């Protein structure tokens, strides 16, 4: 039955840990700025800078690093020492080289889907960094195609799935906003795999009135779900 | 005859101006740091930071901005004021939103190649920014495919051209190192269109002993070149 399907996976926090590294950096950032601003206010200001800069920087760690530097200068009224800015640069580079930690049962899931399934990766973020993470994950050979995109819209999913030429397509991921809603709007199935840590920007209500939405606890449940569809 | 060809274009400094914006930013950067270091030494230090960071940041303006900030802190021994770092952040954002200036005869060339030619774009750099520049250029409809890659190697060209399924492929660009040499190594034609401003990192000797290398003064000469091959 699997020859009917294209199964597309999100990468960050679906195949491997990602948000935990952002949160660890935000924690270090808060400590660094503790003499200048209270932590809650800092969170708000950084989140505002990230959203404001998305249109310029897109997703990924380089833009996040630039937003941290901008926020540090702003909230300190320019009083932050340059040593702290150098520390932010170092935090950014460390995030870019963090080791890959696969989530539970990812490899089992990809094995179980087997060669008949058209398996692809659809992720946003910095092109080079996403390629490096896939290479380090050791999962590269499971994927028939890798699509690194600047935004996950219904049009992007439609275009990618049309090229795959299978009767059915499913997007699997931890972001209701980027993985599930636009994939379902594009006519595909959407399977939500919640992750404890998910960026607020990626949260949304589950879709109503569709039989193409599913939710599983971890990727180990995916092969059985697909077999039953 | 054009139905035989895939013609792939580089983007920056082949279709539109790019390096001039980097050079203008380097000039402003030099002025900003003029109290701390002599211009020539600064050039060297910034170039060294850019190369050192390529493996982390890849190509593009976000990484360039981070390298400028790092260099400013380094060369000033940490004495650079935060206002100057804020100015570097602004320079980076302005580079990301500069208007597109097409190079001479680009549109005429794409028109003359016509629908029969498989026309594609192959560029490296920040994914989002390259997509935005193509959208702003108004040239999007001429391209049958757009490939934004993290590095231009012979393997990357081979993979892209194999998918296009035309008997002949040519890469056209202003970088001997990234556009011409690896495309020729991949078995394709390489047509060099020199630009007055080219990043030192992209320079290399012309390939010897191949009839698949050509050089033209501007893109207006390309349709006639291809007609004669």
Given a cut of 80, whether residue A196 has pLDDT beyond it is yes
Helix axes A39-57, A61-75, angle to 10 degrees: 130
C-alpha to C-alpha distance for B157 and B183, rounded to whole angstroms = 6
Whether residue B82 and residue A79 make contact (CB cut-off 8 A), yes or no, is yes
Q: Does B127 touch chain A (CB under 8 A)?
A: yes
Lookup result for tokens 């650079």: B80
* Residue B82 distance to chain A (closest CA, Å): 6
Nearest neighbour of B78 by CB, restricted to A83, A96, A127: A83
Nearest to B58 among A66, A85, A128 (CB): A128
pLDDT (average), residues A23-40: 93
Per-residue exposure over A51-69, b if at least 16 CB sit within 10 Å of its own CB, e if not:
eebeebbbbbbbbbbbbbb
Residue A40's pLDDT band (cuts 50, 70, 90): confident
CA distance B223 to chain A (A): 30
B73 touches chain A (CB under 8 A): yes
Please give the C-alpha separations between residue B216 and each of A4, B108, B221, in angstroms, as whole numbers.
49, 15, 6
Better-predicted residue by pLDDT, B219 or B40: B219
Of A89, A92, A127, the CB nearest to B150: A127
CA-nearest residue to B86 within chain A is: A70
Q: How many helices (H) and strands (E) does chain A have?
A: 9, 6
Query: How many CB atoms neighbour CB A151 within 10 A?
Result: 15
Q: Where in chain B is the domain with CATH 1.10.150.240?
A: 19-96
Cross-chain CB nearest to A73 (options B63, B85, B131): B85
Average pLDDT in the A175-203 region? 92
Closest CA to A6 of A214, A184, A226: A226
Of A16-25, A196-205, B114-123, which gets the smallest average pLDDT? Answer: A196-205
Dist. CA A42–CA A26, nearest whole Å: 10
A82:B76 CB<8 A: yes
pLDDT band at A125 (very low <50, low <70, confident <90, very high): confident
Chain B: residue whose CA lies nearest to A65? B66
Range(s) within chain A of domains with CATH label 3.40.50.1000: 2-16+101-227
| DSSP state, residue A187 | T
Rounded to a whole number of angstroms, the CA Rg of chain B reads 19
Residues from chain B that touch A86, judged by Cβ atoms under 8 A, are 70, 73, 78
- Percent of chain A predicted with pLDDT > 90: 84
> Are the beta carbons of A97 and B73 separated by less than 8 Å?
no
| A131 interface with B at CB cutoff 8 Å | yes
* Band (B208; pLDDT cuts 50, 70, 90): confident
ipTM value:
0.87
pLDDT (mean) for A15-40: 93
Chain A interface test: which of B82, B123, B143 (most A C-beta within 10 Å): B82
Query: Is the CB of residue B127 less than 8 Å from the CB of residue B150?
Result: no
Query: Does the domain made of A2-16+101-227 have the CATH classification 3.40.1190.20?
Result: no
Could you say which of 1.10.10.10, 2.60.40.10, 1.10.150.240, 3.40.640.10 is the CATH number of the domain covering B19-96? 1.10.150.240
pLDDT of residue B198 exceeding 80: no
Contact residues, chain A, for B149 at CB < 8 Å = 127
CA–CA distance, B130 with A126 (Å, rounded to integer):
12
Nearest CA in chain A to B150: A128
Q: Token pair for residue A140?
A: 């590269």
Paired strand residues for A146: A121
> B123 pairs with which residues across the strands?
B148
Instruction: Answer whether A56 sits within 8 Å of B83, measured CB to CB.
Output: no
Interface contact flag, A126 B58, Cβ < 8 Å? yes
Neighbours of A1 (CB within 10 A): 11
Q: What is the pLDDT of residue A208?
A: 86
**Is B126 an 8 Å CB contact of chain A?**
yes
Beta bridge partners of B9: B121, B172
Cα distance between residue B93 and residue B168, in whole Å: 40
CA distance A164 to A120: 9
Distance, CA of B100 to CA of B25 (rounded, Å): 16
Contact B127 A79 (CB under 8 A): no
Structure confidence at residue A156 as a pLDDT band (50, 70, 90)? very high
Give how far A154 is from chain B: nearest CA, Å. Answer: 17
Q: How far is CA B30 from CA A40, A82, B40, B72, B88, in A?
A: 37, 18, 9, 10, 11
d(CA A137, nearest CA chain B) in Å? 17
pTM of the model: 0.88
Closest alpha carbon within chain B to A53: B93
| B140 reaches A (C-beta below 8 A) | no
Kindly determine whether residue B128 and residue A150, on different chains, have CB atoms separated by under 8 Å: yes
Query: Does A63 contact B at CB distance below 8 Å?
Result: yes
% helix, strand, coil for chain A, step of 5 = 55, 15, 35
Best to test chain A binding among B67, B73, B126 (most A CBs inside 10 Å)? B126
Helix H or strand E encompassing B158: helix B154-164
Cβ contacts of B79 within 8 Å, gap of 6 or more: A82, B36
- CA–CA distance from A5 to each of A166, A169, B162 (Å)? 6, 6, 25
Report pLDDT digits (tens) over B103-137.
999 999 999 999 999 999 999 988 888 989 999 99
Q: Average the pLDDT over B53-60 and give the result.
A: 90
What is the maximum span of chain B, computed from C-alpha positions, in angstroms? Answer: 63
Over the stretch A85-107, which tens digit does the pLDDT of each residue have? 999 999 999 999 999 999 999 99
């Amino acid at each position: 039955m699997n020859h009917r399907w294209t199964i597309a996976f999100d990468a960050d926090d679906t195949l491997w840990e990602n948000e935990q590294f952002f949160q660890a950096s935000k924690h270090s950032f808060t400590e660094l700025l503790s003499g200048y601003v209270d932590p809650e206010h800092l969170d708000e200001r950084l989140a505002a800078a990230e959203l404001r800069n998305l249109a310029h920087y897109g997703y990924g760690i380089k833009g996040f690093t630039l937003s941290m530097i901008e926020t540090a200068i702003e909230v300190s009224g320019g009083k932050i020492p340059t040593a702290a800015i150098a520390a932010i640069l170092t935090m950014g580079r460390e995030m870019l080289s963090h080791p890959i930690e696969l989530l539970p049962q990812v490899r089992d899931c990809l094995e179980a889907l087997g060669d008949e399934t058209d398996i692809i990766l659809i992720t946003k973020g910095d092109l080079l960094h996403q390629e490096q993470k896939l290479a380090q994950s050791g999962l590269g050979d499971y994927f028939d195609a890798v699509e690194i995109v600047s935004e996950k819209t219904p049009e992007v999913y439609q275009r990618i799935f049309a090229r795959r030429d299978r009767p059915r397509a499913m997007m699997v991921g931890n972001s209701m906003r980027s993985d599930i809603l636009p994939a379902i709007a594009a006519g595909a199935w959407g399977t939500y795999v919640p992750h404890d840590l998910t960026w607020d920007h990626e949260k949304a209500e589950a879709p109503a009135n569709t039989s193409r939405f599913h939710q599983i606890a971890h990727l180990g449940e995916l092969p059985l779900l697909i077999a039953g569809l």
